[in-house]
Amino acid sequence: MNHQSTRRKLGDIFCFDPELTVMKLQISVLDSSAAGGWLASLCVAGFTAIAIRKIVKTEMVDAEPMAKPSSFAPIEFWTWGGIFLASFVSAIFYPTALGTTARTCLPFLLASTVLGYMVGSGLPSAVKKVLHPIICCALSADLAAVAFGYISQSGVDAVLGDYLTKVSSNPGAGDVLMGFLGSVILSFAFSMFKQRKLVKRHAAEIFISIILSSLFSLYSTALVGRLVGLEPSLTVSILPRCITVALALSIVSLFEGANSSLTAAAVVVTGLIGANFVQATLDKLRFRDPIARGIATASSAHGLGTAALSAKEPEALPFCAIAYGLTGIFGSLFCSVPVIRQSLLAIVG
């Protein structure tokens, strides 16, 4: 297995959001709005990119070829499986061997998350449409937490609390995974650099489509929330649904009364919908080139959509990465402008 394939596979794993494992999603509120909002944002970004290309009359050329990641080797399954079994048994018999339960649970929770992705990535394509590898990460970690909580009689909530502690001096498995996000984003930069000539050639459609998509996402969410009669605090909480969790939480902190837990749920649900259905939807809409496909995916489904599409279409990764970053940047900038923020609040009511 070459280093590039290994790095890209690890990148897919670490695009998994630990918030998904520990939070309880408010599905009844989010499902329909997330699905409709994701599809609308995808259409706006994709069709805008194509329209701007026609206006500026930029000829589409082929992207630099990108190698697809190889499948996981049996030795990788056996290695992580052995780590999981050994650390799980050790944590049962020595619950505070490393000083705290979070550190004791860290090895088997981390191993279960990685194993979940390995199993999910090997599922047939038809099954992945329902059970995406990102979902498998959360399910496997949750199952490990339930099993340990039952056997140790500590309860699943306590184990999930050890999964994502958000304390640097006592990190859990989720905190370790979050620590790799910087490396993942840096790996995106290498992919973008390889396609630098194509990025420069299509700069107009890339930037304009992302700006319009970001504005559309914010204002359409506010308007739909008002029309369907959602509580203003609820609507405000889901405004940054198409922006990665870390930046979305910073954005909603600008709005008084927003619920950050609901924000995280909205972002993750939107990303999961995009990760599962993005490729089929892009094909139905006849988005053929990697630029339109990459921009539409990341502008509507942030990191989870990026991981899902780039695993199957690595040539779209640079444009997913650009849209992923710029959507967060422009979304943060727009909500920081008092006039735009007040107009959103006025629409929300």
Residue 258 has pLDDT above 90, yes or no: no
Q: Model confidence at 228, in pLDDT bands (50, 70, 90)?
A: confident
Are 35 and 273 in contact by the 8 Å Cβ rule? The answer is yes
Q: Where are the beta strands (DSSP E) in 54-210?
A: none
Nearest to 34 by CA among 226, 259, 260, 262: 262
Share of the chain above pLDDT 70, in %: 85
Instruction: Please tell me the predicted confidence (pLDDT) of residue 1.
Output: 47
Are 319 and 294 in contact by the 8 Å Cβ rule? The answer is yes
Rounded to whole angstroms, the maximal C-alpha distance in the chain is 68
Q: Which residues contact 57 (CB under 8 A, 6 or more apart)?
A: none
Using the structure block, give the residue that is written with the tokens 């990148």.
Answer: 11
Regarding predicted confidence, which is higher, 339 or 33? 339
Residue-wise pLDDT tens digits, 85-139: 999 999 898 887 777 778 888 899 999 999 998 888 888 877 776 777 777 888 8
Q: Model confidence at 81, in pLDDT bands (50, 70, 90)?
A: very high
Residue 197 has pLDDT above 90, yes or no: no
Q: Model confidence at 21, in pLDDT bands (50, 70, 90)?
A: low
Grouping H, G, I as helix, E, B as strand and the rest as coil, residue 75 is helix
Q: Model confidence at 17, in pLDDT bands (50, 70, 90)?
A: low
Name the least confident of 6-20, 47-61, 199-213, 293-307: 6-20
Instruction: Please tell me the predicted confidence (pLDDT) of residue 248.
Output: 86
Residue 55 has pLDDT above 70, yes or no: yes
Are 105 and 172 in contact by the 8 Å Cβ rule? The answer is yes
Instruction: Please tell me the predicted confidence (pLDDT) of residue 339.
Output: 93
Instruction: Please tell me the predicted confidence (pLDDT) of residue 211.
Output: 92
Nearest to 109 by CA among 184, 171, 166: 171
